[in-house]
Amino acid sequence: MYQRYTSRAEGMQSTATPRMKDRIRNIALAVLLVACILLGIFGGRAMSFQADAHTTFVRRLQTECNDALNLTTSLSRTAGANSAATLGRIRSHLYAMDTINQLNVGLQGAGGYLVNNDQFTLLYAMLDEYSDKLITGMQTGDLQTALTNSLTELAATVSSLD
């Protein structure tokens, strides 16, 4: 008689253990399913955000570059009265482009440069030299041509980002 009760108790334990394992497995699968669904929702939104941000950055780069390029035509070849102000506005457009480029690197990582930083460095150096020539009253025709050519190349680079 003793065996009958022990075998019954053992039988109950053996049937209860698989039920508990099934519950744990089902709960774990449900949690994994919910996590996958949430990852899909939030991951899709993140990818959509990155694509929208990239498009916005490219459009803004194109606008800033075209504005800077248009301003070079209003620069005087001989140190005109408004040349310094125009040069400052060109510099501000260039700075905006550089900032957008750095923002994209922040979002995309080290490979996220839309425009090579060397182009910005070259343009900043040209603007500094142009400003120095304006201050000393020297001819600026060659620098205006070089600045226009460099901004035209930058505009071509930026327009190819689409």
Indicate the number of domains in the chain: 1
- 3, 30, 69, 85, 101 from 124: Cα distances, Å: 94, 58, 14, 15, 15
- Summarised one tens digit per residue, pLDDT across range 59-99 is 999 999 999 999 988 886 655 678 888 999 999 999 999 99
Structural domain boundaries, residue 95: 2-159
What count of other Cβ atoms lies within 10 Å of the Cβ of residue 32?
10
pLDDT of residue 76: 67
Predicted local confidence at residue 2, as pLDDT: 53
Furthest-apart CA pair in the chain: how many Å?
118
Tell me what the pLDDT averaged over the chain comes to: 83
Is pTM beyond 0.85? Reply is: no
Q: Judge contact between 125 and 94, C-beta under 8 A.
A: no
Q: How far apart are CA 115 and CA 98, in angstroms?
A: 8
Q: In this predicted structure, what is the pLDDT of residue 46?
A: 66
For the stretch 50-65, pLDDT in tens is 778 888 999 999 999 9
